A and B are shown apart, each in its own frame.
Chain A
Amino acid sequence: MEYIIEMLGITKTFPGIIANDDITLQLRKGEIHALLGENGAGKSTLMSVLFGLYHPDKGTIRMNGQEVHIKDPNDANKLGIGMVHQHFKLVHNFTVIENIVLGVESTRHGFLSMENAKKKVMELSDRYNLKVDPDALISDITVGMQQRVEILKMLYRDNEVLIFDEPTAVLTPQEIEDLMQIMRGLTEEGKSILFITHKLKEIMAAADRCTVLRKGKYIGTVEVDAVTMEELSEMMVGRKVSFAVEKKALQPGQDIFEIRNLIVKSRHSQKNAVQNISFKLRRNEILCIAGIDGNGQSELVYALTGLQPVVSGQLILGGQDITHASIRQRNAGGIGHIPEDRHKHGLVLDFNLAENLVLKNYYLEDYQHQGFIKFDAVYQYADQLIQQFDIRSGQGAFTPARSMSGGNQQKAILAREIDGNPDVLIAVQPTRGLDVGAVEYIHGQLVDQRDAGKAVLLVSLELEEVMNLSDRILVIFEGELVAELDPKETTIQELGLYMAGSKRGKVQ
């Protein structure tokens, strides 16, 4: 079998850490090759080396048997290597088509000529069933479509080797299904795909082979048909991982957070995204808001946490009306928030890890005295959280948040919000981008919060997480609650029907 890409003995160090330690990866022509490993194992780094963003300290890269030197992404492009990054790199106030041709614009008499570009884009879009609107602004389209734009960008440049860094973390189940189809279509055309994901199911469903990394080291490459999910996860974490959530039966306690007739404006249009929603959140319960992305979940959470004002309605937290309270008042009053967008809201990327871990309590007596920050206390606290939540990075508390791996950034947010011990924890996609071991730990932590008498409001697109974790499910569709379900008495299929709006139930 011939290899289109061979990465041999790749080593790459960052301050304080060996991100890649003598790693070998061989990609066959026409295959989907999965890359699996814990958060911080070095997957994104390895792919960035292939894409020319980082230079390896040691090791060689071969393409079709010939050694190649990839100094920057332009070189990668010339060799036909394209990459969709973990965090997309699109220009938000440009249109889809402008983003696609960016950098390889064709000009006629010195003027930008878009017609040919558009024709080619539409052809590609049709051929691979990518369904994009070429004239829409990036800021107006869903994450799923943004991703398809990234894919088109690669295809437009006639890339033969396609790298996908955690493409499914931000997608809805339906979009994931579509993406798998697209990927299969691409390999049938002879393209080769490198695919990073933490979801073992996707590997089982789509990949031909899988290379496993652990803490920067190469563990092995397996034929996917020959292994089980359990074996894969053991290879990656070094121990057995339980996929089921251990949860004891518990009577829900008293009401802690009441939402009455809430109406919230849409962020994109003049319409109301949340239309007259009422529900009660109780102690000792994990309540899940399930729905297809874009049905008002984001606006609902923004209104509860104070990031967006309400049009009308009331929010009662522990007997207090907080409808118009400031964000600080809500935080102090017992609301924790794991945000949907970790780079926009969750982290100050230019702060270091410790500074991010105290983002919500730097002003408390524990961490400041008469306006002066107690750095000793801050770094001690940070070290404790790093230990407890196993946040891995090169320079511990001093690591710039920007340089941390995606999953570890997420863990930092989770550590801060869970350790804040809020009465109400609003968790949006809490395990997005986490490896299976970390998912297990975080699920355990959320259940512990519930057992300790707190309330958890979970917003998740992942139906399995919804079914496993929650005590009660509210289905949201077009800004309204359309069903209240008991996860023990319903199935994923049924839940799907409610979410799609083809079935309606009763909500108390």
Chain B
Amino acid sequence: MMPKWIGKSNLLSEKNIVSLTSSISAILVGLLFGLVILLISNPSQAFAGFKTILFGGFTGGFKGVGQVLYFATPIIMTGLSVGFAFKTGLFNIGASGQFIVGAYAAVLVGVRLTSLPPSIHWIVALLAAAAAGGLWALLPGILKAYANVNEVIATIMMNYIGMYSVNYLVTRTVYDQLRNQSISTVAVLPKWGLTTLFPRSSVNGGFFIAVFMVIVVHILINKTTFGYELKACGFNREASRYAGINAKRNIVLSMVIAGALAGIGAGLLFLAGSGKHIEVVDILAVEGFNGIPVALLGMSSPIGILFAGLFIAYVTQGGFYLQLSNFVPEVIDIIIAAIIYFSAFALIFKNIMSKLIKGRKEQKQ
């Protein structure tokens, strides 16, 4: 006999179906909204442009798919970062800062520790990125747990501190003056056959690592006592205290893990060997912020985040090709952002959907 609880975590359970349908309807509304903006900004090209957004991701066949996986990798990780913290009831707005310090750590190790054999060089660099990201989230975690400082404010501050520190450190340690960016890292992630599958694209083993992390986080949240404790703290901090759960420790741990996930995301991007460098500019890392809509659209569930990350990467990719049909780059950014953020209202749609379903059921009976 199948254990009873398996039946409950069934992928096709009513709860999951509601989540899925609501995410999908959110996406549809987002796309529709994008179409409206297209129509306003350039009516004659609107439908062609819309088609580009919808199918642009497949441009070049397998190459396009490979690019989508490549762009999805870091935002899946930052999505995991935000979603994981949210399970503990914490809003991690600091994925951006955690991401950029993770990037710096990865690049520093990737550039400087050349004595390491290539097969482990990237591992060390990636671990450094995780550690740096985790460390960056440690302070907001401690402030939240022990001084009840709102983590939203603390993590936003850390974003700016992270950005300026990294800019400074890059110019001092790994600077390519000509291009105003970091120099190329020697450590590079393995390809694990993905380049043969998706020729001429930038995809690499990092995508597999992201998928692996999705599974790890899924198990951590749903199958372990640690995940149980984190959820208990997230749902009801007083009750978990009553149960003897060390809520303070869990808050700190949860933030650190979230930070490490964002750091890994940066490692996977900057060690990809795709020519990506840390640019010395005063702009917060956009991958960090995109983690928020990814997590929202994925309903904070790791599996959902995986697909949400893929979707958002796909749309972004389609947006690149929009430039071919006479759209100003700024408008493209607006359209893509509109689709992404509109979709992220999935949570609201979830409520509407479950009400609709309930209403229909009541009518039937």
Contacts and interface: CB of A to CB of B under 8 A. Distances in A.
Contacts of B245: 328
B231 A307 contact: no
B240 A363 contact: no
Interface in B111-150: none
A363 B238 CA distance: 18
A345 B224 contact: no
Interface in B227-278: 228, 231-232, 235-236, 238-246
B362 interface: yes
Contact of B4 (A13, A55, A379): A379
B90 to A, nearest CB: 16
A351 interface: yes
B361 to A, nearest CB: 9
B225 A345 contact: no
Contacts of A350: 235-236
A375 interface: yes
A355 B246 contact: no
B235 A349 contact: yes
A167 B224 CA distance: 40
Contact of A339 (B224, B240, B242): B242
Interface residues of chain A: helix, strand, loop or mixed (majority): mixed
A346 B239 contact: yes
A85 interface: no
A368 B232 contact: no
Interface residues of chain B: helix, strand, loop or mixed (majority): helix
Nearest to B234: A350
A362 B225 contact: yes
Nearest to A416: B243
B238 A375 contact: no
A214 to B, nearest CB: 23
Interface in A267-316: 305, 307
A379 B235 contact: no
A372 interface: yes
B5 A362 contact: no
A122 interface: no
Contacts, number: 76
A62 interface: no
Contacts of A57: 362, 365
Q: Interface size for chain A: under 10, 10 to 19, 20 to 34, or 35 or more residues?
A: 35 or more
B8 A398 contact: yes
Contacts of A337: 242
Nearest to B9: A375
B3 interface: yes
Contact of A363 (B225, B231, B241): B225
Given A331-B244, A373-B224, A379-B5, A345 B238 contact: yes
Interface string A51-91: 00001011000000000000000000000000000000000
Given A351-B235, A379-B5, A346 B228 contact: no
Interface string A327-343: 11111100001010000
Contacts of A362: 225, 228
B362 A55 contact: yes
Given A371-B226, A373-B225, A345 B362 contact: no
Interface of A: 13, 55, 57-58, 305, 307, 326-332, 337, 339, 344-351, 355, 359-360, 362-363, 368, 371-373, 375-376, 378-379, 398
Interface of B: 3-5, 8, 223-226, 228, 231-232, 235-236, 238-246, 362, 365
19 contacts: A55-B362, A57-B365, A305-B242, A307-B241, A327-B241, A328-B245, A328-B246, A329-B244, A331-B243, A332-B244, A344-B239, A346-B239, A348-B232, A348-B235, A351-B235, A363-B225, A368-B225, A371-B225, A378-B5
Given A348-B232, A375-B3, 15 more contacts: A57-B365, A329-B244, A344-B236, A344-B238, A344-B239, A345-B238, A346-B242, A348-B235, A348-B239, A355-B228, A359-B239, A372-B225, A373-B225, A373-B228, A378-B5
